[in-house]
Amino acid sequence: MKKTIAIDGPAGAGKSTVASELAARLGYLYVDTGAMYRAVTLFLILKGVDIQNRKLVQELLDEVEIELTEEGRVFLNGKEVTREIRTPLVDQMVSPVAALKEVRRFLRTKQRNLALSRPSVTEGRDIGTVILPDADLKIFLTASPEIRARRRWLQLKERGQKIDYKLVLRNILERDYIDSNRSEAPLKMPEGALLIDSSFLSKEQVVDLIYNLVRQ
């Protein structure tokens, strides 16, 4: 039985849904590292910080406390922000914030410690490359940009957030570009990872596939 599972991939590939369902089925901890970057982004937006002011960003990070609950709720300095971290404004700002080395350094140890605290399914962009390079199983989950945008658009619509599909697609392409081209921990397929293209697979099929690999 594999104990540390790393799932990486671009925006909207279905990582969160797959990783949380897989973790629930295995009785493992689910670690959503994207939620942590989103919480830091929300914090900086609320503070009105110019993220080019790296010294200020670094100083303010001392004030940030993030908690992820077992059910996937997110708390920033004791206040629940589960919904607030998934708005189009955070979508737009998160990749530039996640490209800052101060922010990555701040979250790296927290993510690693959390993922190693017990058997876990951890998802993000640099899990198999940086956070858990020795993970027992590494998955790179992807799908075509149009399918990813459509899924994200439907998700936002279900949450009552009306937004143009084309804007969602543009945001996904921009985030992919920034995430893949940054100097710190860029998004790439980790060495030894298994590639799963979920374009034409259901969520259940992807979960089943990874579940069987974990148990092998």
In the complex, the residues that contact ligand C5P under the rule CB under 6 A are 11, 33-34, 37-38, 94-95, 98, 124-127, 175, 179
Are the C-beta atoms of 28 and 137 separated by less than 8 Å? no
Of the pair 34, 133, the CB lying nearest ligand C5P is at 34
Q: How far is the CB of 209 from ligand C5P (least distance, A)?
A: 20
Q: What is the dihedral of CA 22, 24, 28, 34, to 10 degrees?
A: 70
Of the pair 26, 32, the CB lying nearest ligand C5P is at 32
Of the pair 123, 212, the CB lying nearest ligand C5P is at 123
Of the pair 165, 212, the CB lying nearest ligand C5P is at 165
Gyration radius of the chain's alpha carbons: 16
Q: How far is the CB of 136 from ligand C5P (least distance, A)?
A: 18
Q: How far is the CB of 216 from ligand C5P (least distance, A)?
A: 25
Q: How far is the CB of 34 from ligand C5P (least distance, A)?
A: 2
CA dist 195 and 197 (Å) reads 7
Phi, psi at 59, each rounded to 5°? -65, -45
Angle at 89 between CA 83 and CA 95, to 5 degrees: 100
**DSSP one-letter code for 66:** E
